[in-house]
Chains A and B, each alone.
Chain A
Amino acid sequence: MDYVPTNKFIIWGHHFTSVAGAAPIIGPAIAVIWGWGPAFAWVILGTIFFAGVHDAGAIWASVRHKARSIGAVTGDVIGPRARSLFMIVIFLVLLMVNAVFAVAISGLLVNNPSAVVPAWGAIIVALIIGQMIYRFRINLLAVSIIGVVALYALIGIGPSVPVELPESVLGLPANSQWIVLLFLYAAIASLLPVWVLLQPRDYINGLQLFIGLGLVYAAILLSNPSIVAPAFNSDVPAGTPSLIPLLFVTIACGAISGFHGLVSSGTTSKQISNEKDVRFVGYFGAVGEGCLALAAILATTAGFATLGEWREIYGAFGDGGVNAFVTGGANIVAAGTGLSEAIAVTLLTVMAVLFAGTTMDTGVRLQRYIMQEWGTIYNLPILKSVPISTAIAVGACLALAFGAGGVDGTGGMLLWPLFGTTNQLLAGLTLLVMTVIIVRLGRSMWFTLIPLSFLLFMTTLALLVQLKTFYDAGNWFLFSLDILILVAAVMVLLEAVGVLRKHLRNAAATP
Chain B
Amino acid sequence: MASDGKHGGAGRWRQWFRRASYCAEELYFGRYRSTIARARRDEEDLFMLLVYSEMMGVPNPASYYTMELQPLLLERFHDWHRRMGMERSPLDHFRCC
Binding site for B on A (CB under 8 A): 1-2, 4, 6-7, 10-11, 13-14, 17-18, 133, 139-141, 144, 193-195, 198-200, 202-203, 206, 267, 270-271
Distance of A10 Cα from B28 Cα, bound (Å): 10
Is there contact, CB below 8 Å, between A193 and B31?
no
Q: Tell me which residues across on chain B come within 8 A of A199, comparing CB atoms.
A: 28, 31-32, 36
12 A-B pairs besides A14-B30, A200-B28 with CB distance below 8 A are A6-B26, A6-B30, A10-B23, A11-B30, A14-B27, A139-B21, A140-B24, A140-B28, A141-B20, A194-B35, A199-B28, A206-B27
Known: A1-B41, A140-B21, A141-B20. A133 touches B28 (CB 8 A): yes
List 7 tightest A-B contacts by C-beta distance, closest first.
Answer: A10-B26, A140-B24, A2-B34, A141-B21, A199-B32, A1-B37, A203-B28
Known: A1-B41, A193-B39. A140 touches B34 (CB 8 A): no
Known: A1-B37, A1-B38. A144 touches B32 (CB 8 A): no
A126 to chain B, nearest CB (A): 12
10 A-B pairs with CB atoms under 8 Å apart are A1-B37, A4-B30, A4-B34, A10-B27, A11-B30, A195-B36, A199-B31, A206-B27, A267-B31, A271-B30
Chain B 26-62 per-residue mask, 1 if CB under 8 angstroms from chain A, else 0? 1110111111111101000000000000000000000
Binding site for A on B (CB under 8 A): 17, 20-21, 23-28, 30-39, 41
Distance of A193 Cα from B36 Cα, bound (Å): 9
Q: Tell me which residues across on chain B come within 8 A of A194, comparing CB atoms.
A: 32, 35-36, 39
Q: Tell me which residues across on chain B come within 8 A of A198, comparing CB atoms.
A: 32
Which of B28, B34, B35 has the largest number of chain A CB atoms within 10 A? B28
Is there contact, CB below 8 Å, between B30 and A10?
yes
Closest Cβ neighbor of B32 among chain A residues: A199
Distance of A416 Cα from B37 Cα, bound (Å): 37
A277 to chain B, nearest CB (A): 14
A441 to chain B, nearest CB (A): 29
Distance of A195 Cα from B40 Cα, bound (Å): 11
Closest Cβ neighbor of A13 among chain B residues: B27
Q: Tell me which residues across on chain A come within 8 A of B28, comparing CB atoms.
A: 133, 140, 199-200, 203
Distance of A199 Cα from B37 Cα, bound (Å): 14
Q: Tell me which residues across on chain B come within 8 A of A17, comparing CB atoms.
A: 27
Is there contact, CB below 8 Å, between B34 and A14?
no
Q: Tell me which residues across on chain A come within 8 A of B31, comparing CB atoms.
A: 14, 18, 199, 202, 267
Q: Tell me which residues across on chain A come within 8 A of B23, comparing CB atoms.
A: 10, 13
B48 to chain A, nearest CB (A): 17
A202 to chain B, nearest CB (A): 7
B27 to chain A, nearest CB (A): 5
Distance of A288 Cα from B71 Cα, bound (Å): 53
Distance of A1 Cα from B21 Cα, bound (Å): 23
Is there contact, CB below 8 Å, between B33 and A4?
yes
Which of A139, A140, A144, A199 has the largest number of chain B CB atoms within 10 A? A140
B24 to chain A, nearest CB (A): 4
